[in-house]
Every structure is written in structure tokens, then in C-alpha cells.
């Protein structure tokens, strides 16, 4: 009998081998962490909501010409994705000041930018994911110059699409983080997840935070906020 092998367990997801070497199964967990594992918790229903929200966003972006790893939903908490090698670079796009950038540069949270700001972070828990620039990426050989250009361009396209989509749903996309992977053919794909764990979403009318900041800052109603995002996307059950 085929026994699924656990390839990797992260803070919010588990990755399993499948019978196809080019595909892996991702299981979204209810576990929540913040501040590089310094704060740990459990958000009931998060795994299911993030699995569905992420699938929805990948599908939406794919239909608009953005290449990603998502293939299909397998269950309420699992999805099938292309197997990729994740580049150790996190790409953050910001439309307003918030979080670490507001703190680093002394900007008032919520300040709206005339154009989006793209940042790169070195994905390394030991170092606490430091902010890096394109020269650091080249020096540390984390990605090629071409991959850096592609990541920047794709991240801005994702931003443009998701800002428009969320605005229609009455939500401001404040910022988000993307991870990229390289598949067996050498193609660069948007990978990991796109969900309230990795984006900041603010209600356009009330300013209410509908994302992981509710967990990070102990604001309560965390699951409700994630569910609100799912409800606004207006989707029925996908599986």
C-alpha cells in the first residue's frame, strides 16, 4: 500500500509526497505562529479557510496570466500543488505603511503610498528573516538576477490584480508576502500560500483588520475575520 511520506512540516502547513514525483499534497493546519515562532496558538477553522482562500486567489491569478503552483483542491484542508524548490527569498509588496515597515521607518500605520513598495527578506528563521536588497541576494546566491527581476514584476502584477479584486469586496490590500519556487523545468512560479496569514486586509469602511494581525496583536475574533474574507470572496464550498 502507498504510504504518504511527510516531506516537510512548517508552522502552518504540512507537505506530503504523492505518487507523482512532480506533485505534492499540502495540508493547511489550524496552528498559528507569529514573531518567528515567539507566539504560538491555534485558530479553529484556519486550515480550512486558508486552504480555500489560497486556492481561490491562485485560481484567480492563474486566469490572469500569473504562473503559480496550485493544481486542485483535494479536501477542505488539503490541496495538490506542483513540486517546486522554494527560493529562500520572501517578497513583500506594500500599498500602505504597516507592520515592520511602519516601525522600521517611523511611518504612521495606514499611510498610503503613491506607488507600491517591493521588499525582499532572507527566509532564514535563525536570522529572523532580515530585510535584504538585490545585491545581498546576488552575494548570497539566493536567486539569479533574472529571477529577482521576475519576482519583482510578478509580485507587482499580483498586487495590481488583488488590489482590484479586494477593492470590489470592500477590502483594502495593505500588504502581502509571496514566496516563489522553481519547478522541474526551471520555471519560476508563485508558491506557498496567499491568505489572511500572509496578507494584511483592512475593511475599507471601518478599517477593521481582517487578517493575522488580529492574532499577532491579540485583537480577538481571529477566525471570524478569516471567515469574513472568505464570505466576501463570495464563494460557495469548492470541494
Interface residues with ligand C5P (CB under 6 A) are 90, 92, 98-101, 129, 175-177, 198-200, 212
| Least separation in angstroms between CB 19 and ligand C5P | 31
Strands lying side by side in the sheet with 78-82? 6-9, 13-17, 23-28, 78-82, 70-73
Q: Please, what sign has the CA dihedral across residues 3, 79, 192, 42? A: negative
Output 98 or 142, the one with its CB closest to ligand C5P. 98
Interatomic CA distance for residues 39 and 99, integer angstroms: 16
Is 33 strand, coil or helix?
Answer: strand
Task: Give 69's DSSP letter.
Answer: S
| Least separation in angstroms between CB 30 and ligand C5P | 17
Output 81 or 92, the one with its CB closest to ligand C5P. 92
Output 177 or 214, the one with its CB closest to ligand C5P. 177
Residue 76, C-alpha cell as written in the block: 477542505
Output 78 or 192, the one with its CB closest to ligand C5P. 192
Q: Which residue is nearest to ligand C5P (CB)?
A: 99
Residue 174, C-alpha cell as written in the block: 495593505
Amino acid at each position: 500500500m502507498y504510504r504518504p511520506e511527510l516531506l516537510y512540516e512548517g508552522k502552518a502547513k504540512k507537505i506530503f509526497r504523492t505518487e507523482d514525483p512532480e506533485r505534492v499534497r499540502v495540508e493547511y493546519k489550524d496552528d498559528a505562529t507569529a514573531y518567528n515562532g515567539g507566539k504560538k496558538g491555534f485558530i479553529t477553522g484556519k486550515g480550512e479557510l486558508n486552504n480555500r482562500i489560497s486556492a481561490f486567489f491562485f485560481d484567480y491569478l492563474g486566469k490572469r496570466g500569473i504562473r503559480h503552483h496550485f493544481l486542485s483542491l483535494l479536501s477542505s484542508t488539503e490541496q495538490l500543488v506542483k513540486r517546486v524548490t522554494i527560493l529562500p527569498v520572501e517578497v513583500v509588496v506594500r500599498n500602505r505603511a504597516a507592520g515592520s515597515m511602519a516601525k522600521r521607518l517611523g511611518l504612521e500605520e495606514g499611510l498610503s503610498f503613491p506607488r507600491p513598495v517591493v521588499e525582499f527578506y532572507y527566509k532564514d528563521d535563525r536570522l529572523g528573516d532580515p530585510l535584504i536588497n538585490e545585491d545581498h541576494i546576488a552575494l548570497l546566491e539566493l536567486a539569479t538576477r533574472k529571477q529577482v527581476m521576475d519576482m519583482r514584476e510578478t509580485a507587482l502584477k499580483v498586487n495590481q490584480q488583488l488590489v482590484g479584486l479586494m477593492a470590489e469586496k470592500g477590502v483594502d490590500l495593505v500588504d502581502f508576502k509571496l514566496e516563489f519556487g522553481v519547478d522541474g523545468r526551471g520555471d519560476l512560479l508563485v508558491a506557498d500560500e496567499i491568505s489572511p496569514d500572509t496578507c494584511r486586509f483592512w475593511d475599507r469602511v471601518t478599517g477593521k483588520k481582517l487578517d493575522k494581525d488580529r492574532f499577532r496583536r491579540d485583537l480577538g475574533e481571529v477566525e471570524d475575520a478569516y471567515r469574513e474574507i472568505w464570505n466576501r470572496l463570495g464563494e460557495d464550498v469548492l470541494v
